[in-house]
Structure 1
Amino acid sequence: IMYDIMNKPVYCRCGTEIVVKVLEDQWFLNYGDPKWKEAARRLIEEMNIVPSDAKAQFLATVDWLDKRACARTRGLGTPLPWSLDWVVESLSDSTIYMAYYTVIKKIRQFGLKPEQLTEEFWDFVLLGVGDVGEVAKKTGVPPEALKAIREEFEYWYPLDSRNSGKDLIPNHLTFFIFNHVAIFPKDKWPRQIVANGWVLREGEKMSKSKRNVLPLDKAVAMYGPDPLRATLAVAAEVEQDLDFRDAEARRNAQHLAAIYSMVQKIAQSAEDRAATWVDRWLLAEVANALERAKEAYEKVRVRQAAVEVLFNLKSVFDQYLSMVDKPSTLAKEAAKAWVVAMEPLVPHLAEELWAALGGNGFAAAAPWPALKPDPAALLAKRYVDMLIEDVKKIPAFGPAAKKISIYVNRNFAWVKAALGGDVRAAVQADVPPQAAKRLVDMVKTLGDEMRTLIAAADKFDELEALNTYKTYLEKTLGVPLEIYDADDEAAPDLGGKKRAALPLKPGIYIHV
């Protein structure tokens, strides 16, 4: 079969004109075989593909793929076993090499020779076919070595994820699927393919003609390995084209330096004291962020994970340190959890900080942190932030404000009773009738996160929370605070704010 290529010369990237040679007696792989196609489709439907919309492209490729030339007469490659004048061409020869990667270390360890790597050897190692004693006799490979190599393969396979460029979906990656279903049993079929985008530089495609190609070793020397990794992670999700920019890489280097200084400060100044609401809030925020990061990692949403770990969590720690005189040992534990989460992104920095925090061994070997979210601690911080916003909305709050009196209604059970939005149910739960409708209406205005936290929290003491955050509140609002229990008969009722206080909606009186 002859194909019209195009009506103008084709050139190699080195500048040499390409000459198309028609080969006689060419060998083909019959990807058009219906049963083979069906097995390939089954794997595509069962495996995870990132991005998910690439699945349609894989299925379309399976549909149109037919006979594919698999050999050539020149160049490097493996001789075609039944026709030694031919060499297996590169795309057909690179479909299961990852299986070879799993065992080459052991092959070298036992000093095996190429002539010992026969079909019987590979059938036993990759498929478990044959008696180990018989295979040992035929190949000269000791039974212990055969077992060890087979166990090494069994340990690694099936492969968890095959990452490659999206331009290889119509060829190499689909061949990879076809050949795995043809050779291996179902329990050794690959679990995931990630088809990533291309890398641009300063908004332009990298090419030799533009002289803007940035070799990896040079990029590492320019920016350092971790700033480079962070920049690549943050710039785009894997399926998107990534635009690498010098300014971003340098900003990320400074950002990582700031993280280093922050964690070193926590490691050196953490004090052993009873945990406060602020300490508990930090641990809860870290727990939630790590849960989101874990999900992003598992779904290969690398950018999402990087933003969560490197940026959002730094902001959380920044805020925490601004609210305390000294970090607690609980903050140190939170920092250790943070470092484990950053290890896949910036491993050198993570290991340095892991050691500074007193971690055992390596961060890379540490289990994923098992922090438990604390809804009451999160609720306390959200409540404090709501109070700050409420104060700022009061017209009397301004330069003339000298002091603020806060009246706290500590009947948290009332709020939980009002979540259903039923005034009668709230009254039946001992909410005073004169306050029930106001409380139910107030709860309806709360966001989904606040309502979820209220439902999840067993207990919540507003007065204790505000007293813990008092310094933070005064620093943020710029005036001193008096905090009263609305049920305290001795507390003055300034402007009727004591009587008006509701749970999670304190009475606020501004002294001018």
Structure 2
Amino acid sequence: FFDLSEEVVCRCGKAVVIKKVPDQWFIDYSNVPLTEATKNHCKSMHILPSEFYNNVQGILDWFRERACVRQGNWLGTRFPFDPKWIIEAISDSTLYPIYYVIAHYYNTGQITLEQMTEQFFDFVFLGKGTAKEVASATGMNEELAQCIKDDVFYWYPLDINLGGKEHMTVHFPAFLKNHVAILPPELWPRGIFVNWYVTGKLGKISKSKGGAEPIPDAAGNFGVDALRLYYAHIAAPFADVEWDEDSIKNYVTRIERVLRAVDELKSLDGAEKMSVDAWLISRLNSRVGAINEAMDDYDLRRMANEVYFETLADVRWYIRRGGNNENTASKVLSMWVRMMAPITPHIAEEVWESLGNEDFVSIAPYPEAIGEDIDIVAEVAESYLGEVMADVNEILKVTGIAPKRIILYTTPQWKRDVLDLALDMSGEDSLTVPSLTKAVMSREDLRRMGKEAASFARKQAEEMMKRSAGEKRRLAAPLDEYQYLSDAADFLSEALGAEVVIYSADDTSAPDPQRKARAAQPRRPAIYVE
């Protein structure tokens, strides 16, 4: 036994000592060409979190010779070069995913252990030789040999290897180097996903440490789907999360809210279509696109948020806005229930059946975003309406006024023209404060506004240069603010508890006791509260 330079304690709580094992066998993971080939391949992989993507290069450099066999009463494969040894688990397990592809052929008796020779593996894993040669050497059916090889090259490479954070310096380096060392490049792995822990009050919940079921009868107490939603939404994959019974109760409540919203949609029976119908259909399609992006990054939390929080908010807003179209509700329900299926499959199946479907939602195609159904103007318009309501409510909260009448003044046309000039110049990558000011003052209709036009141009240029591409697209959407707010005046009056009147700032006959209209800007109406 040898002393370490300082005390090292195992996860089990015992002191760690090093024992010299004579006649030990190692895999030379320090091999420079292998290390460099693996590092280069990792640059093309989808590795999450990004910190591990950056750190894996150093880990591969650090990962050196590793003992690959052990002695004792272990389960495992005898080491072919010295039968007194058993192949060590990490060395043996890092290639097991490719064996899964062919295991069922052995388990179902289609091939025997004796037929699984080195020549057989060279053919099905490495593409060496022919099916005819393998069949001749092993007595295997030639078509079966070819079928097994085709299976391997169809299912491999491995798209993603998921493992706990403790594997970042233990399992994953061996997994990567073994694949690169043995398999042809087209079968090298494509991704790694490192997850953190779900912890209990006494530490990590795991099979080895006990407590793998943190609460007895959890499924019976909370429901399987609530537990699945809890884990999907609250458990950020790259941070430890502590099991919290109160939080799970919140997800039970969340599912109940979703089911109530489903029932409300099912009860809608109108035929009239409103602007909010186009908005809801567009929102669902946009959310499907966002979910697909999230799943490309294995981001279950973002997916769950889109399905159970954001979509629920959309549905409730639609109903609040007076939406009552049966066809819209039917289309939304079909999409929404299929969006729920991966995380809350049991509830999704029940709702799917209640909609009159005879097959299972689990085998129904996942919804795809339909470009023609995405209406950016409808989405911008409803967002604008919500922002106006929020601004008015903020004024009422700050001032404490009990309003009798609320007047909204939409932007004058000349300010919209300045904004359009700024958007055009931004798209041409020629926007600066001087260039926009010059363009504004070169137009007679804008120059008549004098210093106000120059000041507004400067402000728009400064703001526009800070905006994202998405913000610019939304600003460019052709929204008739006056008309949209006028159409929603009754809704606004009911929601805000006072009569709401809409005027254009261009309307010289509009009542304006405090000269508020002059403050109106594109997408920022001026507000007067009586």
Q: Which residue of 2 aligns with 1:417?
A: 421
Cα offset for 1:504? 3.9
Q: Which amino acid aligns with 2:258?
A: I
Query: In 2, distance between residues paired with 1:214 and 1:107?
Result: 34
Deviation at 1:76, TM superposition (A): 0.6
Equivalent residue number for residue 293 of structure 1: 291
**Helix, strand or coil: the match of 1:31?**
coil
1:252 corresponds to 2:251: yes
Uncovered stretches (5+) of structure 2, i.e. residues with no partner? 426-432
Matched, 1:318 2:333: no
Retained in 2: the 8 A contact 1:418–1:439? no
The match for 2:91 is 92
The residue that corresponds to 1:474 in the other structure is 493
Matches within 5 A, 1:12-31: 23-31=21-29
- The 1:18/1:486 distance shift into structure 2, 3 A limit, reads closer
1:105 aligned onto 2:104: yes
1:326 aligned partner, one-letter code: N
Deviation at residue 190 of structure 1 after TM alignment: 0.4
- Establish whether residue 452 from structure 1 lines up as the match of residue 472 from structure 2: yes
1:468/1:201 CA distance change after superposition, 3 Å: farther
- Partner amino acid for 2:90? L
The answer to which of 411-420 and 391-400 deviates more is 391-400
Secondary structure of the 1:80 match is coil
Deviation for aligned residue 1:228 = 1.6
Is the contact between residue 498 and residue 507 of structure 1 (CA under 8 Å) also seen in structure 2?
A: yes
1:176-215 equivalent positions in 2, closer than 5 A: 176-202=175-201, 204-206=203-205, 212-214=211-213
Please identify, of 49-58 and 351-360, the stretch whose mean Cα deviation from structure 2 is larger: 351-360
Shift of 1:310: 2.3
How far apart are 1:60 and its partner, in Å? 3.2
Q: Which residue of 1 aligns with 2:343?
A: 345
TM-score w.r.t. the length of structure 1 is: 0.83
Contact 1:96 / 1:179 at 8 angstroms: preserved in 2?
Answer: yes
Residue-by-residue CA offset, 1:75-131 (whole Å, 9 max, x unaligned) = 110122233332212111101111112222344456322222222222222222221
Partner of 2:42: 44
Question: Structure 1's 94 and 270: CA in aligned 2 closer, same or farther, altered over 3 A?
Answer: farther
Secondary structure in structure 1 of the residue aligned to 2:121: helix
What is the match of residue 81 of structure 1?
80
1:433 maps to which of 418, 433, 448: 448
| Alignment RMSD | 4.0
SS in 2 for 1:240: coil
For residue 472 of structure 2, what is the amino acid of its counterpart?
A: T
Amino acid at match of 2:403: A
Report if aligned partners of 2:233, 2:300 keep a CA contact under 8 Å in 1.
yes
Query: Which residue identity does 2:421 align to in structure 1?
Result: A
The question of 1:378 aligning with 2:376 is answered no
- Cα 1:139–1:210 shift into 2, 3 Å: closer
- Superposed CA offset, 1:30-86 (max 9, x none): 222222222222222332221121235433332233322212233110122233332
Indicate if the aligned counterparts of 1:414 and 1:503 stay in contact, CA closer than 8 A. no
Q: Quick one: structure 1 residues 410 and 132, their matched pair in 2 at CA, closer, same or farther if it must change by over 3 Å?
A: farther
**SS, match of residue 238 in structure 1:** coil
CA distance in 1: counterparts of 2:335 and 2:528, whole angstroms: 41
Q: Which moved further from structure 2: 17-26 or 240-249?
A: 17-26
Q: Which residue of 2 aligns with 1:401?
A: 403
Map residues 355-394 of structure 1 onto 2, 5 A cutoff.
Answer: 355-357=353-355, 362-363=361-362, 365-372=364-371, 373-392=374-393
For 1:494 and 1:6, the matched residues in 2 are separated by 82
The structure-2 alpha-carbon separation of the partners of 1:203 and 1:88, relative to structure 1 and needing over 3 Å to count, comes to: closer
Call closer, same or farther: CA 1:454–1:174 in 2, change over 3 Å.
closer
CA contact (8 A) 1:232 1:244 kept: no
Deviation of the 1:231 alpha carbon: 1.4
Does the aligned pair in 2 maintain the 1:266–1:327 contact within 8 Å? no
- Of the structure 1 ranges 338-347 and 148-157, higher mean CA displacement relative to structure 2 is found in 338-347
Moved more, 56-65 or 15-24: 15-24
**Counterpart amino acid of 1:344?**
P
| C-alpha distance after superposition, 1:250-270 (max 9, x if no partner) | 221221222123123323425
| Distance 1:42-1:508 versus aligned 2 partners, 3 A rule | closer
Deviations 1:121-147 (A, max 9, x none): 222222222211121122222222222
Distance 1:168 1:341 in 2: 32
* Alpha-carbon distance in 2 for matches of 1:55, 1:408: 50
Residues of 1 paired with 2:54 and 2:323: CA distance? 56
Contact 1:206 / 1:212 at 8 angstroms: preserved in 2?
A: yes
Q: Structure 1 residue 166: deviation in Å?
A: 1.2
SS of 2:43's equivalent? helix
Change (3 A) 1:317 1:73: same
Q: Distance in 1 between matches of 2:418 and 2:140?
A: 76
- Counterpart contact for 2:70–2:87, Cα < 8 Å: yes
Check conservation: 1:282, 1:331, Cα contact below 8 A.
Answer: no
The whole-number CA distance in structure 2 between the counterparts of 1:492 and 1:430 is 22
Distance 1:153 1:133 in 2: 17
**Residue identity opposite 1:159 in structure 2:** L
Q: 8 Å contact 1:423–1:437 — kept in the other structure?
A: yes
- 2:428 maps to none
Residues 1:305 and 1:464: Cα distance change in structure 2 (over 3 Å): same
Cross-structure match for 1:157: 156
Question: CA separation in 2, counterparts of 1:478 and 1:442?
Answer: 34
Instruction: Tell whether 2:143 aligns with 1:144.
Output: yes
- Structure 1: segments with no counterpart, 5+ residues: none
Counterpart amino acid of residue 452 in structure 1: K
SS for the counterpart of 1:83 is coil
In the alignment, the residues of structure 2 paired with residue 179 and residue 253 of structure 1 have an alpha-carbon distance, to the nearest angstrom, of 44
Output aligned runs, 1:247-286, within 5 Å. 247-269=246-268, 271-274=270-273, 276-286=274-284
Distance 1:136 1:281, change over 3 A: same
